[in-house]
Amino acid sequence: MFNWDENPDLNITPLVDIMLVLMAILMVTAPVMEYEEQINLPKGSAQKSTHKIPDLSIRIDSKKNIYIKHDKYSFATFADDFVLGSQKYPKSTVVYIKADKELKYNDVIYVLKVIKDSGFTKVSLVTNG
């Protein structure tokens, strides 16, 4: 028998939970969506081609011989030799140092310091991993 005096309660908690999940999905995916429209861009003026600045690779073997391209340098005179030889490269050149793992840490940091003191700012140590 139905009692007309009772007020039925609606449980809207599952509905709110579902709406919050859908809203979170929408908020995450909306910035990723891109709308493409076909646009015909005007032709620009001719530009001269830019040349890529060559990278400079420095190799140090386990006997402290330093190689730059095909040139071999002594560890003792490397600072002076590099300062003189690096003038033909722009200071924005990326320098990669590849050192043998048997070398002492101080020896590799010395070469890094010489390169940094010569004005090169983009210097990286190359590892095998």
- Eight-class DSSP state of 7: -
Q: Would residue 4 count as lying in a domain?
A: no
pLDDT at 23 over 90: yes
Q: Would residue 115 count as lying in a domain?
A: yes
Q: Would residue 109 count as lying in a domain?
A: yes
pLDDT at 10 over 90: no
In percent, how much of the chain has pLDDT > 70?
78
CATH of the domain at 85: 3.30.420.270
Strand order in the sheet with 95-99: 71-73, 66-68, 56-60, 95-99, 123-125
pLDDT at 22: 94
Say if residues 89 and 123 touch (Cβ distance below 8 Å). Answer: no
- Residue-number span of the structural domain to which 75 is assigned: 56-125
Three-state SS across 37-53? Answer: CCCCCCCCCCCCCCCCC
Mean pLDDT in residue range 6-13:
79
Q: Would residue 89 count as lying in a domain?
A: yes
Q: Would residue 48 count as lying in a domain?
A: no
pLDDT at 19: 94
pLDDT tens digits for range 61-85: 888 888 888 888 888 888 888 888 8
49 pLDDT tier (thresholds 50, 70, 90): low
Q: Would residue 87 count as lying in a domain?
A: yes
pTM: 0.56
Q: Would residue 95 count as lying in a domain?
A: yes
What is the number of structural domains in the chain?
1
Give the strand pairing for 95-99 and 56-60: parallel
| Phi and psi angles of residue 28, each rounded to the nearest 5 degrees, phi first | -80, -40
Q: Would residue 41 count as lying in a domain?
A: no
pLDDT tens digits for range 83-107: 888 888 888 888 888 888 888 888 8
